[in-house]
Structure 1
Amino acid sequence: MTDLDNSLPIVLYHYYYSPYAQRVVWYLNLRGIPYSQCLQPPIMPRPDLARLGVNHRRIPILSIGRDVYLDTRLIIDKLEQATDLPCARGPLGSPAGGGGGGKASSPEHRALEQLLRIFVVDGGVFARAAQLIPHDLPLMRDRRFVRDRNAFFPGGVAPRELQPEALTEVQAAMRLLESTLLSDGRAWLLGGGGGGGGGGAEEEAEGPSLADLEAVWPLVWLTTLPGALPADRVSAAQYPRVWAWMDRFKAAVKRAAPGGKPPTIKGEQAAEAVVNSPFREASGAIDGDDATVRADGLAKGQVVTVWPLDSGSSGRDVGRLVSIDEREVVIEVDVPGSSSGASVRVHAPRRGFRVRPHVAEPAAANL
């Protein structure tokens, strides 16, 4: 994969109160990576993405040049691995992740970054946090929003009856951090400079690592939802080290982005910037040893369908297979209505996504 070209436009498609989008915004701010934002409605449809031929319905989506990246895990990995980014600060994570200059300095720290990601995203911490959304919030009283989320989540919006269980799981996550990684008074999960704890102004000034970002985002999000966390059970009184860590993180993000919000562009402007850019990455190859490639006989240029398995599975992208390996699948999607035959390349992680040969819908019979 090639590095980012400094001239390529970086556009983040998101809406403000998406916790997953906030995770990427924080990353961009901590690195000092300049970008534009194209704000989206919280519910479908999203015409701005349809202009690019993208059907994926989960937010955020990041475009760099004519390459479009789905899923925050892949987005952050791509940004970490790029070595020629227009940025003020180096990678947040492991040098072995590909970028160099990161904060994680040992195999154990690199493993911790990944385990925290799995713990939060795949292990259920965020899913439980989402179940704590108060049902009396204005959005939760909006029938269109609830209908959209019932179609988005398997099983629909979580009922109130699940909230006590969800609170217990969130408390367990906070207790884990309070009693282990933060128990020695360190400022950040990997300690100062990735080596030990003890706290102190020098350690705090070094700023958070990727491990901090991977763990902190759903917890900070919950603290912004009025009524989500009962103060007599989940607050700075019960988890003082976790609360102080979250406050440090928020302060670090604020210091890293003193200019405030990025430029906001309309969908037409964003689409023009994307379509008129070159591709960011080389086309890549098909891994002939990949189990899915073997099972389905996938070949370069074959039309395939790609979609997420856990939520938003109705948003399925169809395109010509560009490359596939154990980490990523890339398809080329035609831009609707383009007089020049323009296309974009859509990148998705393999973890949590399915790739299958495309089966066209049968044509409606003429009666």
Structure 2
Amino acid sequence: IAALENGELGPLLSPGTLRGLEDECVTDVKVPGTLHFGRGAVEGGSGVTVGLGGPEFETSLANRVQPGVVAGTCSPSYSGALAERLARVGPPESEPAREASASALDHVTRLCHRVLADLLFQELQPHFNKLMRRKWLSSPEALDGIVGTLGAQALALRRMQDEPYQTLVAELHRRALVEYVRPLLRGRLRCSSARTRIRVAGRLREDAAQLQRLFRRLESQASWLDAVVPHLAEVLQLEDTPSIQVEVGVLVRDYPDIRRKHVAALLDIRGLRNTAARQEILAVARDLELSEEGALSPPRDRAFFADIPVPRPSFCLGLPLLLGRLPLSRLARPSLACLPRPRSPSLVRPRAQR
């Protein structure tokens, strides 16, 4: 009892038994890793830096494996069971080591998810490049390619355990919608008439429904993503300013990381140039930004518009002095309501000396 109280009691297992358990653990982890990730990822050869999470490791891993292999080996359940097994046979002071191993396994799982998502979206990028163009309005070819490619990977993804699978498919769901909306807000399409707006909005709704059906089949639990494209379609199709304001309010309520620049880009796409109407609509997003100053940003898995950059917005003339210098005939033209931002003085070329 005295030896136990003073910490003088040695380990319950003999040194030979401990070494045997260590060797067994190393072998159980190393052999599957060597088979699936390549000998370089395990032993540091072929220019791969040993140490999880480094860019060299991620780049080499993405070049060495296919999605099905990553899906089959990213589940932490097996390695997690080994960590729990060692913790049970170890002394109480091994708890910090168990927690550290659990954290490392979680990091490896997230790394594998990112590598797998990168591989999938590299394959999908040619299809996303065809979105929001004239042909997209009349042909489902681009979206069919996206849905078909993602659906074809479903069986490989389903080899994972439930918890990591749900995490991965939710991220794929989020990223697919982000990549779908990105070309829209970057202004690939410009609606020149109410008829065009109706066509674009209708196509957006059809695509949104098809993507929703796909991720339901994949058992995605990220249902918060389903409404984003229909909201954007409504903003494009509605005619009167109060209705657009209401729809933008719903949009910023459901996706609080949206900003005025995103709403302004959407108004540019629908061709809304009336300065007063634009300001009334943008005020909804501005009020949200002011109310959320100092608030925490949404977690990474709930971010959406934060991952969608948009071109620099135009600025609207609001200075009486500048307005007074323009002829009335020019002020009456809607196309001159907003002008491009002036370039920085450092970027303006000096006039050539005569």
- Which one has the bigger strand percentage? 1
Would you say same fold, with TM above 0.5?
no
Which structure has more relative contact order (CA 8 Å, sep 6+)? It is 1
- Which one has the bigger helix percentage? 2
TM score, norm. by length of structure 2: 0.27
TM score, norm. by length of structure 1: 0.26
